[in-house]
């Protein structure tokens, strides 16, 4: 049984120039308890995907989909109110800035209490016990002390843990983490990611980890989805993607990261994709990566579709089969 | 950059500082308000030529309703008041007076305010605190109340009303200038400019001035509107422009007793104030929106 | 040949306000020394609060160090001396972290570059134009771009403009304060390549501040690791990346997924319970897995354990 099934999700923005596509026909599946990594650079639409699932899009956006199936129920078939209630009980989201989830005017305990009273109810003392349990589950050392404090008195890492605790308070089946560690120091980053992964395993919660940092995903995820310019370019098991990526964009992303042991050799260069992400109002005809793709051919003027490759996963590229045979570029002289 | 065959065009449209003008033009409400405002200003400038009569001349036709009423007279477009003065001429000259007074007030308040703002932004802690607490004091009191108190202290009349309203407006300029300068100085590109070797003058003209201009312009516009309202309020209370000055507030103070008998003498000056303030505020809002939309 | 030398740089800030029992000075950096050779890159690694940006400000001359000295080409640089200031601004240039904040939104980039030249050189208008065109092309932009405002460029392009501003005076040293952190992964690679090319062509030395270990491994010759304002480890790239000795350096590697395979024995920070912060003793005592009692009382000095490799820790012999 799938936890999440999205088919042909499109999100567009109403602008004076017309409807601009933010996400185009994105289809995705997640199993129960799976950890999915969603990788994309800024402007790829990955954050919009999270907001679309949670129903947090701004009124200026229109959302269309064949279906969005969350834990058995189709969100597209519900009214706005029904959807809000259902999603709130089944899914939770953590943002990049913990300040976005935490209100500076209220103490930690009152915020946790508020969440708990909406979602699980119970008497005040039951809620207090549960709050302490949650803070303990996210690795906070002296929860009774922390409960009485305010967000601005705590560090970014602490606040993010509290945000995670609040997210778990509603006992979600799906936890979406949108760049949860980008604003944190490197040592805290790994701690938070480990926390999310261990919670996902222990509470059997599906985790969608959205990030631009491939390295974070390599150890932790079951599958990875790569998004570029509002489209899903590749979706496969983590080892497959890391060892033999089929899409040129994924390959380029992996190649741009300096390899281990890749030291200051004179004349060596990283592989870098030229150009930049197309702006929404000037999208290329055909494949969105076309103008920048080192492998682009004549046929790339036609839009590629997301198709399944045997023993691998799904790729949106005309040349998926050929690319598979080439090794991952490392230190290449590119000028 | 790339020697790949270019399948696709990616065009860029450069624009200039006139994008502010363009942004403003796209705001229909603000553009309409601007037209209205320009109209009012033109009326004010050309008042002596537009007004058919002298605003103080008293005719024997007392309390005549506006020309479109049954018993109105065509030579008095908007009717006459209880002393037989042509209301149209009075309002038109009133526009001239109100705008002139507001201009004096704003120039006074803004120059003192901006100077103080510069001083406090660039000075040490003590001077900064002193000036800011003084400003807090002025801001803590309701502006009209404070203006009344000041006029009560120094005596009624036009010059004193101007000083009073100016004093009340100064803190706004001080705050805007100080905050804008402080925000600017903490920007990273200012540090970069200092590292490029820019001296203080260059820093001011290239960086501080262009970036505080939007906030100042908006503040000036809104101060203008406040000035008109406060002068009118003081005039209404008999503390500002005295009779027979055709200041809109003063007109109201003379005619409000006749609201049931000659309602046009109250409604028309009121509408004049209303539309002037509305247009100024809409233009101010439009400017604020236009200059914030950079990207 | 070391030509930028910093000795015992310390910087204290006076805190506003008054709290009983708390010191009213903040020691942002304490006793930092390093040497930078021509054409090489010294990477400064540390998390937020480590003092790396403060150090950059002292070196470049925005602030005066409380104690310590900076030498450039053998000459001691004074903070107040006008001639030295000019020398500094011309020869030591800076690239900032945030490409969205480091360019004046009201100035066209051509004008900005022209001003830099006008203030610092005697070139005629024609020569300035040529230099601007040359520099823009060198960083991968087009000469036509000089008429544009910063907001018409993407983040990566803006960082190229920032690099143009830095190299246009043909400096000898560039301080790059986290130049890649605000950029997307694929753009990071472009900018990193550009920086390497420029170093090879123009012989620029870099003081490269970064928290990204594999970028540092790729570009650095020497590495200085800072924690809470102090240097905890200093060495060349092989020493730091093959045999890091200080527990903090090791924890950095342990926190980065890519390096866990190389250093499987390093202890991950998540498993350490944090202790109270102290001002005495070792700066890392609150988080060190090997902390002992004397570490909290005495302060370990930075000592040379092998040639060129300095570590401040009692554990390392």
Among A189-203, B18-32, B118-132, C203-217, which stretch is predicted with the lowest mean pLDDT?
B18-32
Instruction: Indicate whether B85 pLDDT > 60.
Output: yes
Q: Is the model's pLDDT at A73 over the cut of 50?
A: yes
Q: Is A301 on the interface with B (CB under 8 A)?
A: yes
Provide the β-strand partners of residue A225: A38, A235
Q: Is the pLDDT of residue A334 over 50?
A: no
User: How many CB atoms are closer than 10 A to CB A276?
Assistant: 20
Contact assessment for residue C291 and residue C297, using Cβ atoms and an 8 Å cutoff: no
Q: Which residue of B has its CA nearest to A273?
A: B2
pLDDT, tens only, C90-142: 899 999 988 888 998 888 899 999 999 999 988 999 999 999 999 999 999 99
* pLDDT number for residue C1: 60
pLDDT at residue B5, rounded to an integer: 33
C105 touches chain B (CB under 8 A): yes
Q: Which range scores top for mean pLDDT: A222-231, A313-322, B48-57?
A: A222-231
Across the strands, what pairs with A193? none
Tell me the nearest-neighbour CA distance from C63 into chain B, angstroms.
11
Is the peptide bond prior to B244 cis by the omega test (within 30 degrees of 0)?
yes
Residue B14 has pLDDT above 60, yes or no: no
User: Cα(C241)–Cα(C220) distance, rounded to whole angstroms?
Assistant: 11
CA–CA separation, A200 vs A194, rounded Å? 10
State the average pLDDT for chain A.
85
Residue B10 pLDDT more than 50?
A: no
Residue given tokens 């089946």 in the structure block? A173
The answer to whether residues A22 and A53 touch, using CB atoms and an 8 Å cutoff, is no
Contact flag C152-B12 (C-beta cutoff 8 Å): yes
Work out the minimum CA distance from C258 to partner chain A, whole angstroms: 7
- Taking an 8 Å cut-off on Cβ atoms, the answer to whether A296 and B8 are in contact is no
Distance to chain C for B138, nearest Cα, Å: 26
Q: Three-class SS of residue A91?
A: strand
pLDDT at position C21: 57
DSSP label at residue B123: S
A126-132 long-range contacts, CB within 8 A, separation 24+: A130/A169, A131/A165, A131/A169
Helices (H) and strands (E) in chain B, counts: 12, 0
* C232 three-state secondary structure: strand
For C116, the closest of B12, B196, B295 (CB atoms) is: B196
| pLDDT greater than 50 at residue A272 | yes
Q: What is the pLDDT of residue A174?
A: 94
Q: What is the pLDDT of residues B16-44, one digit of tens each?
A: 466 777 778 888 888 999 999 999 999 89
Q: Which has the minimum average pLDDT: A97-101, A152-156, A246-250, B112-116?
A: A97-101
Mean pLDDT, residues A2-8 taken together = 91
Between chain A and chain B, the number of residue pairs with CB atoms below 8 A apart is: 23
Hey, is the C-beta of B3 within 8 angstroms of any chain A C-beta?
no
Distance CA A262, CA B19 (A): 47
Asked if the C-beta of C166 comes within 8 angstroms of chain B's C-beta atoms, the answer is no
pLDDT-based confidence at residue C159 (cuts at 50, 70, 90): very high
Instruction: Name the token pair of A192.
Output: 């938070």
Closest-CA residue of C relative to B125 is: C16
Query: Picking from B19-28, B265-274, C270-279, which range would have the lowest pLDDT averaged per residue?
Result: C270-279
Using the Cβ of A278 and the Cβ atoms of chain B, whether some distance falls under 8 Å is answered with yes
Instruction: Return the partners of chain A (3 or more C-beta pairs < 8 Å).
Output: B, C
CB contact under 8 A, C251 and A187: yes
Burial of B36 (0-12, 13-18, 19+ CB in 10 A): middle
pTM above 0.90, yes or no: no
Mutation for B interface: A276, A280, A291, A296, most B CBs within 10 A: A291
| CA atoms of A134 and A195, how far apart (whole Å) | 12
For residue C23, what pLDDT is reported?
A: 59
Among A197-211, A224-238, B139-153, C289-303, the range scoring the smallest mean pLDDT is C289-303
pLDDT value at residue A325: 54
User: What rounded mean pLDDT belongs to chain C?
Assistant: 86
CA distance A215 to chain C (A): 6
> How much is the mean pLDDT over chain B?
84
Q: What is the pLDDT of residue A225?
A: 93
- Alpha helical stretches, state H, chain C: 52-60, 82-91, 109-120, 125-138, 155-167, 185-202, 213-219, 237-242, 247-255, 257-260, 293-297
Give the number of other CB atoms < 10 A from CB of residue B256: 13
pLDDT tens-place string over residues B155-214: 888 888 899 999 999 999 999 999 888 888 888 899 899 888 888 888 888 888 877 888
**CA distance linking residue B108 with residue B222, whole number of Å:** 15
Chain A residue with CA closest to C253: the answer is: A187
- The alpha helices in C34-181, defined as continuous H runs, are 52-60, 82-91, 109-120, 125-138, 155-167
Cβ of C214 within 8 Å of Cβ of A191? The answer is no
Domains recognised in chain B with CATH numbers: 81-294 (1.10.3720.10)
Reply yes or no on whether the pLDDT at A311 is more than 60. yes
- Residues of chain C with Cβ-Cβ distance to B210 below 8 Å are 106
**pLDDT for residue B11 is more than 50:** no
> Among B1, B2, B8, whose Cβ lies nearest the Cβ of A290?
B8
The pLDDT, as a whole number, for residue C262 is 86
**Identity of the residue in C106, C140, C147 whose CB atom sits nearest the CB atom of B1:** C140
> What is the enclosing helix (H) or strand (E) of A113?
helix A108-119
- Binding-site residues on chain A for chain C (CB distance < 8 A): 41-42, 139, 141, 185-191, 194-195, 212-216, 218-219, 252-253, 255-264, 266-274, 276-277, 334
Give me the mean pLDDT over the A76-100 stretch: 88
Query: B58 by DSSP, 3-state: which?
Result: coil
Q: What residues have CB less than 8 Å from C87, skipping those under 6 apart?
A: C72, C77
Pair of tokens at residue B118? 């510069």
Give me the helices (H) in B237-263, please: 248-255
| C196 touches B at CB < 8 Å | no
State the pLDDT at residue B78.
84
Q: What is the pLDDT of residues B200-228, one digit of tens each?
A: 888 888 888 877 888 888 899 989 999 99
């Amino acid at each position: 049984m799938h936890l999440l099934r999205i088919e042909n999700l499109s999100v567009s923005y109403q602008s004076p120039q017309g409807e601009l596509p933010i996400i185009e026909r994105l289809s995705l599946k997640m199993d129960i308890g799976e950890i999915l990594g969603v990788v994309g650079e800024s402007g790829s639409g990955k954050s919009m995907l999270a907001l679309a699932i949670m129903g947090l899009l701004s009124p200026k956006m229109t959302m269309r989909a064949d279906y969005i199936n969350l834990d058995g129920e189709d969100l597209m078939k519900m009214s706005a109110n029904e959807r809000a209630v259902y999603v709130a009980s089944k899914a939770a989201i953590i943002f990049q800035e913990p300040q976005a989830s935490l209100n500076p005017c209220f103490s930690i305990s009152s915020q946790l209490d508020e969440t708990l009273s909406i979602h699980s109810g119970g008497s005040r003392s039951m809620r207090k016990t549960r709050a302490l349990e949650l803070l303990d589950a996210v690795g906070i050392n002296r929860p009774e002390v922390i409960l009485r404090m305010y967000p601005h008195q705590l560090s970014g890492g602490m606040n993010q843990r509290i945000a995670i605790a609040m997210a778990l308070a509603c006992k979600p089946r799906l936890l979406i983490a949108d760049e949860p560690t980008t604003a944190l120091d490197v040592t805290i980053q790994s701690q938070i990611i480990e926390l999310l992964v261990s919670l996902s395993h222990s509470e059997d919660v599906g985790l969608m980890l959205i990030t631009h940092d491939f390295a974070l995903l390599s150890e932790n995820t079951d599958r990875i989805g790569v998004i570029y310019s509002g489209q899903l370019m590749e979706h496969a098991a983590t080892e497959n993607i890391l060892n033999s990526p089929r899409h040129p964009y994924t390959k380029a992303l992996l190649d741009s990261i300096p390899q281990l042991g890749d030291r200051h050799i004179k004349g060596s260069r990283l592989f870098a994709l030229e150009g930049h992400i197309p702006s929404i109002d000037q999208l290329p005809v055909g494949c969105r990566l076309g103008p920048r793709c080192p492998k682009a051919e004549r046929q790339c003027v036609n839009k590629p579709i997301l198709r399944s490759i045997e023993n691998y996963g799904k790729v949106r590229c005309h040349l998926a089969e050929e690319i598979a045979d080439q090794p991952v570029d490392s230190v290449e002289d590119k000028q | 950059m790339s020697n790949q065959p270019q399948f696709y065009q990616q065009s860029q449209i450069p624009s200039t500082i006139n994008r502010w003008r363009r942004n403003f033009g796209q705001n229909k409400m603000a553009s309409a308000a601007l037209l209205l405002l320009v109209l009012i200003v033109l009326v004010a400038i050309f008042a002596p030529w537009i007004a058919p009569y002298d605003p103080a001349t008293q005719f024997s036709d007392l309390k005549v309703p506006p020309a479109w009423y049954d018993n109105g007279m065509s030579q008095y477009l908007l009717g006459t008041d209880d002393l037989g003065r042509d209301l149209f001429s009075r309002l038109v000259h009133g526009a001239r007076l109100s705008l002139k007074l507001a201009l004096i007030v704003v120039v006074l308040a803004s120059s003192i305010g901006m100077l103080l703002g510069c001083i406090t932004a660039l000075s040490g802690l003590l001077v900064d605190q002193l000036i800011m607490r003084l400003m807090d004091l002025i801001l803590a009191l309701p502006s009209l109340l404070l203006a009344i108190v000041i006029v009560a202290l120094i005596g009624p009349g036009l010059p004193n009303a101007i000083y009073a309203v100016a004093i009340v407006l100064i803190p706004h300029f001080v705050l805007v200038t100080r905050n804008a300068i402080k925000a600017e100085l903490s920007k990273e590109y200012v540090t970069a400019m200092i590292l490029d070797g820019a001296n203080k003058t260059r820093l001011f003209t290239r960086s501080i001035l262009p970036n505080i201009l939007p906030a100042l312009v908006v503040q000036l516009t809104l101060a203008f509107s406040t000035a008109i309202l406060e002068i009118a309020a003081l005039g209404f209370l008999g503390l500002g422009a005295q009779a027979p000055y055709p200041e809109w507030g003063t007109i109201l103070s003379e005619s409000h007793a006749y609201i049931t008998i000659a309602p046009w003498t109250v409604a028309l000056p009121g509408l004049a104030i209303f539309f002037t303030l509305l247009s100024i505020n809409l233009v101010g809002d439009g400017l604020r929106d236009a200059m914030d939309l950079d990207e | 040949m070391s030509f930028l030398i910093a000795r015992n740089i310390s910087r204290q800030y006076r805190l506003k306000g008054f709290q009983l029992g708390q010191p009213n000075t903040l020691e942002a950096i304490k006793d930092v020394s390093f040497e930078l050779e021509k054409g090489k890159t010294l990477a400064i690694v540390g998390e937020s609060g480590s003092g790396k940006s403060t150090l950059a400000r002292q070196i470049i001359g925005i602030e005066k160090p409380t104690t310590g000295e900076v030498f450039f080409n053998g000459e001691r640089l004074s903070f107040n001396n006008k001639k030295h200031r000019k020398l500094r601004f011309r020869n030591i240039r800076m690239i900032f972290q945030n490409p969205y904040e480091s360019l004046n939104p009201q100035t066209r980039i051509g004008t900005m570059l022209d001003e830099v030249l006008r203030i610092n050189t005697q070139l005629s208008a024609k020569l300035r134009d040529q230099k601007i065109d040359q520099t823009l092309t060198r960083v991968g932009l087009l000469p036509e771009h000089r008429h544009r405002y910063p907001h018409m460029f993407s983040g990566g392009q803006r960082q190229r403009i920032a690099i143009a501003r830095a190299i246009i005076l043909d400096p000898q040293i560039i301080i790059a304060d986290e130049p890649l952190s605000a950029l997307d992964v694929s753009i990071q690679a472009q900018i990193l390549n550009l920086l390497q090319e420029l170093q090879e062509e123009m012989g620029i030395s870099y003081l490269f501040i970064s928290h990204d270990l594999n970028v540092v491994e790729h570009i650095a010759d020497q590495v200085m690791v800072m924690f809470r304002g102090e240097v905890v480890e200093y060495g060349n790239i092989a020493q730091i990346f093959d045999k890091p000795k200080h527990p903090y350096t090791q924890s950095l590697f342990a926190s980065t997924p890519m390096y866990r395979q190389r250093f499987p024995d390093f202890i991950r920070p998540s498993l350490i319970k944090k202790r109270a912060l102290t001002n005495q003793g070792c700066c890392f005592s609150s988080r060190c897995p090997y902390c002992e009692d004397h570490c909290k009382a005495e302060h370990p000095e930075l000592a040379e354990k092998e040639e060129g490799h300095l570590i401040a820790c009692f554990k390392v012999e």
